[in-house]
Amino acid sequence: MAIVNNLQKCLESPYLFEDTDAPSRVPGLLNMAADRLEAATNIHSYQKGDKADIIFLSYEAMFACIRALVYTKGLREYGLRCLLVAVDVQYVKPGLLDARLIQKFQTIQELKSSPEDAIELASAMVKRTLEILTSAQSAKSA
């Protein structure tokens, strides 16, 4: 199957689909992001473990955040490309999420980052994700 490059094509593919249960998975994803970020920070602070572990755990924290953002919209994915397309359309293009975070996420995925940068980026992604979701929740309550 060809690489899909827009939200509609992703939704027509098997790689992104509507799931009314997806929002209920968001708390677990946020917990995972916090756990992975904490583990990366601890490994770095205590200088125990491999630097690649720090980068990978930071990547996992960012990945959980991206999923949480998309799952909040009632979508689930079976492919990273469509997940990134969905987050781009729903959060980056409207100006809610800095495109550089997504670009750096892809760099971290390739383990092309320093441990310090990976932790910093994961921290920024977790913080921004929580801000976005808290703001959305406040808007629903109002």
Q: Is 74 left (phi over 0), alpha (psi -120 to 50) or beta?
A: left
Domain ranges of the chain: 15-131
Q: Find the helix or strand (DSSP H, E) in which 75 lies.
A: strand 75-77
- pTM of the complete model: 0.92
pLDDT in tens, 85-138: 999 999 999 999 999 999 999 899 888 899 999 999 999 999 999 999 999 887
- Closest of 89, 93, 99 to residue 128, by C-alpha: 99
- Matching residue, tokens 């955040």: 65
pLDDT digits (tens, 9 = 90+) for 39-65: 999 999 988 778 999 999 999 999 999
The dotted CATH code for 15-131 is 1.20.120.330
